[in-house]
Amino acid sequence: MNEPWDPEANRRLVAEMPKVYKPDGIGAGEGMTFYCGFAGPGSVFETGKKLPFADITDGVSITVAVVEAGEECIWTKPDNLPFDPSKPLPKLGGQFGGDFHVALCNGEVRLVSRQFDPEAFKKAVTRQGGEAFNSGDAFPPVGR
C-alpha cells in the first residue's frame, strides 16, 4: 500500500483482475477494465484530496463514484477520468451499444441510456455543488 502501483511485485497482480471488473463479451486486454472514477474539481476522487463520505453533501444516492469509461485502463493503476465541469465529458461507455454503467456513492449501479443529458450528468459527478438536476436526465434508464 505504500509503494507505487507499478513495481514488479504489483505488476504481477494485473493478470489477476477479478472477473467483476471485466464484463463478458468485451475485447479488453488482460488486466484491463473500463471502470474508472472521475478526478477533477468537485469530484469524489478530486486530485490530492482524501475525502470522507461526509464531504458528499449533494447526497450519496445521486453522486457518481465510478463510471464505465469509453477507453480501457489497467485495473490496478490509479488512473481516473479527467473531469472539469466547464468542459465536455470524456467518452463514456460504448461496450453496450453506447449505454453505460454508473456506480453511485451509495453502492447502487445503474445502466444509463446513451441518451443522457451531459450537463445533468456533470452535476451528478460533483459531490457538493448543490446544483439542482433531474436524476432521470442524468441517469435515464435504457429504453427511455
pLDDT at 83: 94
One digit per residue, the tens of pLDDT, for the chain of length 144 reads 677 778 888 888 888 888 888 766 666 778 888 889 999 999 999 888 888 989 999 999 999 999 999 888 888 888 889 999 999 999 998 777 789 999 999 999 999 999 999 999 999 999 998 988 888 899 998 875
pLDDT at 1: 64
| Distance separating alpha carbons of residues 11 and 60, to the nearest angstrom | 33
Q: Is residue 63 within 8 Å of 55, Cβ to Cβ?
A: no
The pTM for the full model equals 0.86
Instruction: List 68's β-bridge partners, or say none.
Output: 35
pLDDT at 27: 67
Helices (H), 12-144: 118-125, 135-138
pLDDT at 25: 65
